[in-house]
Structure 1
Amino acid sequence: MTADAAQGVMLDMRKFVAPEFVFGLGASRLAGQYCRNLGARRPLVVTMPDLMGHDWFQAILAGLDEHGLEHAMFSAVSENPRDFEVAQGAERYADQGCDAILAVGGGSAMDCAKGIGIVHANGQDVLEFAGVDMVARPGPPLVCVPTTAGSSADVSQFAIINDTARRVKVAIVSKTVVADTALVDPGVTLTMGRELTVHTGLDALTHAVEAYVSNANGPVTDLFALEAVRLVGAHLGAAADDGRDLDARAGMMLASMYAGLAFSNAILGAVHGMAHSLGGHSDLPHGMCNAILLDLVAAFNYDAAPGRYRDVAEALGRGLGMVPGPGREGVVEILRAFKRRLGVDKRLGELGVRREDLPRLAELAMQDPCMVTNPRKPTREEIEALYAQAF
């Protein structure tokens, strides 16, 4: 850690929130045991339809049976979970007499599951919880089995839900949405395709980078964030090239978990604020939005945290076998080299975004709570200019 990154860090008061987690091959098969340990008799399994045919998914359900647990199923979850899907899930939870939730999937399934739990417990529309510490009563017991290496929803105090009326993603940030247990099993990611591997992996990288440069960083989040950057650099390329490389998959699952523990506590920044606005407006994959914006925001923020961005570039460069050049340009080139290595080169104009959309996107991004912890305070005009650079 550079001197300016470390300065004063031991004097600031910080809290750290984390769930119980089990990491390792086969952890997903413990879902029945952990649901039963939490007092469940009839959990609602929240997932997505394309996961249900995998052998590992059937093994999870078999584990519920082995522990004497009946279950109900809710799989009407979109890639960017909608507010009305949360309402439908809460209705099913109540109708089926459920007493716990088992989320099996990527960030979409886990965020929807979190929303279902707090809607059931509080009797309010999920969008009423948008913001920080807006949830009065915690939801029912929640066990998460993440199936992608990127979202980190299994270990974070975030839930991201699509407000379909305003066409924007809203962030719910609360200790009440932290899972009781996360079962982090690299084996379930062996069935991910290349594109999903890359997008979710870049989401993990963005979590780690933004947590490290956040103005709410601390000594514990720094440890997790910087190691997550190094792990992504070392393993994401291999996982994308050969999806059956279990060592690479395990490295990425660990990176995702570390990054989640970091950003859950240090929060995020302008990349995520802008990505939430963009993803809600155009229904684009979250990891892709982050990838498009990451290097542009790093260049914008650099002068506010130069030592921290140098740490990021050096950690990512170690994984790539590259030594970053000096200054802002060296940091940006490392990030862009990593994107090139992964074949990520999309621009907003190619994805259906129109130039006339940019003022509205900037306006919504400025309202995102992630903007509060960005190391440089942007104006709406500066955010619009960053979107224009990505066009």
Structure 2
Amino acid sequence: MTATFMHPRILQLGGGAIDTIGDTLAKTGVRHPLIVTDPEMARLPAFERLTGALDAAGVSYGTFTGVVPDPTTTAVDAGVAAYRDGGHDGMIGFGGGSSLDTAKAIGILLGGGGQMRDWKVPAAPDVEVPPLIAVPTTAGTGSEVTKVTVITDVETDEKMLIMGLSAVPAAAIVDYTLTLGKPFRLTADTGLDSLTHGIEAYVSRKANPHTDTFALSAMRVISANIRRACFHGDDHDAREAMMLGAMHGGMAFANASVCLVHGMSRPIGAFFHVPHGMSNAMLLPEITAFSVEAAPERYATCARTMGVTAPDSDDATACDDLIAALRQLNRDLEVPTPKSYGIDPERYQAVKETMAEQALASGSPGNNPRQPSKAEIMDLYDRVWA
């Protein structure tokens, strides 16, 4: 069995790593970067830490603050214009997954041209792009170490999955102190996203021994620390653990792919603007219950790794315990259903078939242990409604 593993050339890890960004830029040959971030992040102390480190290193930079949640083709096009107008030679993606994904997409258009929809799966962008230094400020998407970006096409409302070497950052600076004090909801949603990455990478049909190592680490670390990080936002140990788990989850799914949860989650985010991690969490228990029969040994290992079943439990018991634990975790972290989130039921039913078609078109359900039909996906959307 062979496996291809993609990740950044440079990984700078640990508390205070942001202070080394000048050295990282020098190693990647970037002298005049464009910072890609959102307007709220640009007002926070974490942003001052970044710009202070750049100033101390004597780095000239520009700032693009046009990132939006669930990044859109409109925002990406504006970022491309800002990059060209500023004469930049690289980027710093600074913020959550939306900022990192936007920066990746900007780079793909700069290197490959065309429109963003030209690069969605099954296309694979492997063109030369400007160096990107990814600096996550949430423990969630793992985008800093992945070959993935997700961009919403404003003309079709499709949340497009784009995967290829061009989306892999040149470097990642993973500094958990940038996540200290982040609010409960953001911590929960991003942490549940990371947990989903670990589980789906482990049960994926594309899993291999290399990705299994990172997937199991992500599940183990996140399950042990997510509640503490959510309810005690300044707990350094919990925050550091969650950052490690998010990175390992990203490395796992970027090289083993995600499955049905992510396939069904993206359309919910595109049509109803539900945060990505939250929409994953809405789906995770029910999709797990649907899928366990096709890979009971794998799901049982997930349960044992997460510590939600007895070490000597049989596979069937472990799978039942896993589903129960995921439902309890959603209750503990106050994850809403689509209904309680406030999604209009008539609109949900009206676009349900389109959501199922988009989920299948993304390719992610094809990695799932149990292969779903369009009708089964539509039924699952109904089952998670409330």
For normalisation by structure 1, the TM-score amounts to 0.93
Match for 1:100 among 83, 86, 90? 90
Q: Is the 8 A contact 1:32 1:60 kept in 2?
A: no
- In the other structure, the counterpart of 1:3 is none
Counterpart of 1:300 (choices 285, 290, 307) is: 290
Q: CA separation in 1, counterparts of 2:81 and 2:261?
A: 34
Name structure 1 gaps, 5 residues minimum: 1-11
CA distance in 1, matches of 2:164, 2:287: 26
Within the candidate set 109, 117, 125, 2:115 is matched to: 125
Of 88-97 and 57-66, deviating more is 57-66
| Mapped contact 2:180–2:233 kept (Cα < 8 A) | yes
Following the alignment from structure 1 to structure 2, what is the Cα–Cα distance between the partners of residues 62 and 129?
Answer: 36
1:88-167 correspondence to structure 2 within 5 Å: 88-167=78-157
Q: 2:47 aligns with which of 52, 57, 76?
A: 57
Aligned residue among 372, 376, 379 for 2:373: 379
Tell me which residue corresponds to 2:258: 268
Q: Residue 45 of structure 1 aligns to a residue in which SS?
A: strand
* Distance change in 2, residues 1:115/1:201 (3 Å): same
Between Structure 1 and Structure 2, how many residues are aligned?
A: 380
Instruction: Answer whether contact 1:157 1:264 (CA < 8 A) is retained.
Output: yes
Letter in 1 for 2:7: A
CA separation of 1:330/1:318 partners in 2, compared to 1, >3 Å: closer, same or farther? Answer: closer
Q: Structure 1 pair 83/319, CA: closer, same or farther in 2 (3 Å)?
A: farther
Q: 1:322 to 1:389 in 2, by over 3 A?
A: farther
1:359 and 2:359 are equivalent in the alignment: no
Correspondences of 1:1-391 after superposition (within 5 Å): 12-19=1-8, 20-317=10-307, 326=317, 328-348=319-339, 350-353=341-344, 354-391=348-385
Counterparts of 1:322 and 1:202 in 2: how far apart (Å)? 26
Q: Deviations over 1:304-326 (max 9, x none)?
A: 11111011112223599998971
Deviation at 1:132, TM superposition (A): 4.2
Counterpart contact for 2:148–2:161, Cα < 8 Å: yes
Contact 1:231 1:319 in 2 (8 A): no
Check whether the contact 2:42–2:65 (CA below 8 A) recurs between aligned residues: no
Q: Give me the whole-angstrom Cα distance separating, in 2, the residues matched to 1:132 and 1:204.
A: 24
Q: Secondary structure at the match of 2:280?
A: helix
1:147/1:320 CA distance change after superposition, 3 Å? farther
Q: What is the alpha-carbon distance in structure 2 between the residues aligned to residue 108 and residue 374 of structure 1?
A: 25
Q: Which amino acid aligns with 2:317?
A: P
| Alpha-carbon contact 1:234-1:319 (below 8 Å) kept | no
In structure 2, what is the Cα distance between the partners aligned to 1:14 and 1:124? 30
CA contact (8 A) 2:94 2:135 kept: yes
Q: Which amino acid aligns with 2:359?
A: A
Q: Which amino acid aligns with 2:373?
A: T
Question: CA-to-partner distance for each residue in 1:4-43, whole Å, 9 max, x for gaps?
Answer: xxxxxxxx22121111211100112222221122111210
2:144 partner SS: coil
Question: Contact between 2:149 and 2:167, CA under 8 Å: does it hold in 1?
Answer: yes
Contact 1:41 1:69 in 2 (8 A): yes
Q: 1:6 maps to what in 2?
A: none
* CA–CA distance in structure 1, aligned partners of residues 160 and 166 of structure 2: 16
Aligned mates of 1:281, 1:178 — CA distance in 2: 27
Does the C-alpha gap of structure 1 residues 93 and 319 become closer, same or farther in structure 2, counting only changes over 3 Å?
Answer: farther
Letter in 2 for 1:36: A
The SS at the match of 2:159 is: strand
- Counterpart residue identity of residue 342, structure 1: L
Structure 1 residue 227, shift from structure 2 partner: 1.4
Query: What's the CA shift for 1:332?
Result: 1.0
Partners of 1:47 and 1:164 lie apart in 2 by 20
1:352 aligned partner, one-letter code: I
Alpha-carbon distance, 1:60 to partner: 1.1
For 1:217 and 1:196, the matched residues in 2 are separated by 29
CA distance in 1, matches of 2:42, 2:267: 30
Structure 1 residues 142 and 41, CA gap change in structure 2 (3 angstroms): same
More divergent stretch after superposition (328-337 vs 227-236): 328-337
User: Does structure 2 retain, via aligned residues, the 8 Å contact 1:104–1:144?
Assistant: yes
Paired residues of 2:304 and 2:318 also in contact (CA < 8 A):
no
Q: Matches of 1:72 and 1:132 in 2, distance apart?
A: 34
